[in-house]
Amino acid sequence: MPEGYYSGDKPNPNLRAFVEQHIKERPYDPETNDYDVLAFDKAITTSKDNAIYGIHGYWSKKPYDAIRQYIKHFTKPNDLVLDPFCGSGTTAIASSAEGRQCIAIDLSGAATFITKHVSYPTPQERVIELLRLLRAKIDHDIQPLYTTTNDQTTPPSPNGYTIASGQDCMNRASSCTRRAGSTPTTCLRKPGST
Ligand SMILES: C[S@@+](CC[C@H](N)C(=O)[O-])C[C@H]1O[C@@H](n2cnc3c(N)ncnc32)[C@H](O)[C@@H]1O
């Protein structure tokens, strides 16, 4: 996102200039405008089972693929889409997927923050680099939390997934024979046992 186009929970000082620039490039005159698109009358089939929807929760979040179909129907490439209640940024994502520009507004600073980051994702290499730095800083403190001793792992070694409860520990490593099922909520291991 170009500098100055995200203003958190404050009014954006560059919004007017952005719209004026857009109108200059794509003049709009209500007197001569011949916009005549019929209502969208198809059933929308979509799924919430995708990475963009699942990245985090947001109340009344819509699958972006559904919004995308409306945008494609009601607007043309490079048109400007306005969502003044953008929430988690679904309209912004859908607009850019369809080659439209979008102004996304929300009362909530959390919503605009999420929208900024889902619309303009950080490059993967940068995310990996930051995760490495973070890990180097906290590894020493958190690694013991992911380490168990039991008859499956001698000497103690890091697990993929451990839930600790009181003094007991429920080991969910796939090799653990004490699991109570494929998605265990209880562990057969008794406190004090190996
Ligand atoms: C139902 S959510 C939108 C969810 C969105 N469609 C999505 O897919 O994530 C409605 C949003 O409207 C925002 N909102 C409510 N009143 C508002 C107002 N007066 N001005 C701007 N945003 C407002 C809320 O903060 C909330 O994020």
Query: What is the distance in A from the centroid of ligand 1 to the CA of 72?
Result: 22
What is the best residue among 52, 107, 115 to mutate for testing ligand 1's pocket, by most ligand atoms within 8 Å of CB? Answer: 107
What pLDDT digit, counting tens, does each position of 132-183 carry? Answer: 999 999 988 888 777 766 655 555 555 555 555 554 444 444 445 554 444 4
What pLDDT digit, counting tens, does each position of 36-80 carry? Answer: 999 999 999 898 988 889 988 999 999 999 999 999 999 999 999
- Give the Å distances, CA to CA, from 184 to 55, 158, 171, 189, 193: 24, 19, 9, 12, 19
User: How far out from the chain centre does Cα 182 lie?
Assistant: 28
- Domain annotation for the chain: domains and CATH numbers: 15-121 (3.40.50.150), 124-194 (no CATH)
* Atom in ligand 1 nearest the alpha carbon of residue 108: 25
Query: What is the distance in A from the centroid of ligand 1 to the CA of 113?
Result: 13
